[in-house]
Amino acid sequence: DAGVIQSPRHEVTEMGQEVTLRCKPISGHDYLFWYRQTMMRGLELLIYFNNNVPIDDSGMPEDRFSAKMPNASFSTLKIQPSEPRDSAVYFCASSSRGSGNTEAFFGQGTRLTVV
């Protein structure tokens, strides 16, 4: 399996611009997560989906952030407008509950820099 695939790996954008991060989960996984990693706050959950339905978006910092999962193989995280404080590494992860809880597999992350 190719694992969780995120694009782009690096994104540099100017403040005020729209940014879209993309994620392809592992085939067959029914959970998809978006996490953000910063030096100050560490790894924190932004939102997660189960069977393409958003379950908990309480971690989304502001209305500027939105996430969608139009089908089982694709999700996006959008920031509009972007701000310098959004600079972070954004990870997508997927997992499969199956017969029991299983670990989440992470993508390589997207390093976002907003200048």
The distance of Cα 35 from the centroid of its chain, to the nearest Å, equals: 6
- The answer to whether 85 contacts other proteins (rule: CB under 8 A) is no
CB atoms within 10 A of CB 61: 13
Looking at this protein, which amino acid is placed at residue 2? A
Residues from 21 through 80 that contact other proteins (CB under 8 A): 31, 33, 35, 42-45, 48, 50, 55-56
Considering the complex, state which of residue 12 and residue 15 has its C-beta at the smaller distance from other proteins. Answer: 12
**Which among 86, 68, 59, 78 has a CA at the least distance from the CA of 32?**
68
- The answer to whether 99 contacts other proteins (rule: CB under 8 A) is no
Q: Which stretches of the chain bind other proteins, using CB under 8 A? A: 31, 33, 35, 42-45, 48, 50, 55-56, 89, 91, 93, 95, 97, 101-109, 111
